[in-house]
């Protein structure tokens, strides 16, 4: 892969493991509905661009579903970059730009 490549400056790519490990598989499709809603939102947002930022709350719903079913470790939303439950804004969190 890097044979004969430029020496010195090339950075060799090393796949790194995910920060919190692997998602347990959702064998029973328990959160499938939330996933579908999220994907629909993604497809509908801004025609060509798919902006997950517009669908953050739905992503939050999906991850919430996973946490409730034990498919993900519970954590604060702020650690996951998602808006807290206290904020009632529709799809924007104060930090992100729309």
Partner 1 sequence: MPRILVSRIRSHLLSAGRHVQQCRYALGSLRCISTSPNSGTEPPTFSDPPQPAQLNTPASRIHSKGHLARRMKELGITAGDLQREHVRREQLKNRTSGYYALSLLIGTLALSYAAVPFYRLLCQKTGYAGTPIVESATITADRLIPVDSNRKITVRFESDVSRSLPWKFEPLQRQVTVTPGETALAFFKATNLSNQDIIGVATYNVTPDQVAPYFSKIQCFCFEQQQLRAGEQVDMPIFFFIDPDFDTDPQMKHIHEVVLNYTFFKAKTNASGQYLTVPDAAGNEIAGQVPITVSSAGA
Where in 2-41 is the site for partner 1 (CB under 8 A)?
Answer: 10-23, 25-27, 29, 32, 35, 38-39
Measure Cα distances from 86 to 36, 78, 89 in Å. 25, 11, 9
- The CB-of-43 to partner 1 minimum distance in angstroms stands at 7
- Which residue from 57, 63, 64, 65 is in contact with partner 1, where contact means CB under 8 A? 63
Cα separation, 27 vs 96, in Å, equals 33
Cα separation, 67 vs 90, in Å, equals 22
Of the two residues 29 and 88, which places its CB atom closer to partner 1 in the complex? 29
Q: How many other β-carbons are positioned within 10 Å of the β-carbon of residue 9?
A: 6
- The CB-of-88 to partner 1 minimum distance in angstroms stands at 20
- Tell me if 10 sits within 8 A of 2, measured CB to CB: yes
- The CB-of-11 to partner 1 minimum distance in angstroms stands at 3
Cα separation, 39 vs 49, in Å, equals 13
- Please give the residue ranges that form the binding site for partner 1 (CB under 8 A): 10-23, 25-27, 29, 32, 35, 38-39, 42-43, 49-53, 59, 62-63, 72, 76, 78-82, 95-97
């Amino acid at each position: 892969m890097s044979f004969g490549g430029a020496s010195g400056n090339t950075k060799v790519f090393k796949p790194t493991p995910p920060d919190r490990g692997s998602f347990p598989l959702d064998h029973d499709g328990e959160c499938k509905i939330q996933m579908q809603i999220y994907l629909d939102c993604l497809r509908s947002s801004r025609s060509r661009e798919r902006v997950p930022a517009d669908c953050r709350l739905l992503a939050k719903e999906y991850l919430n579903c996973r946490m409730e079913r034990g498919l993900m470790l519970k954590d604060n939303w702020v650690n996951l970059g998602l808006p807290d439950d206290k904020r009632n804004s529709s799809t924007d969190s104060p930090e992100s730009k729309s």
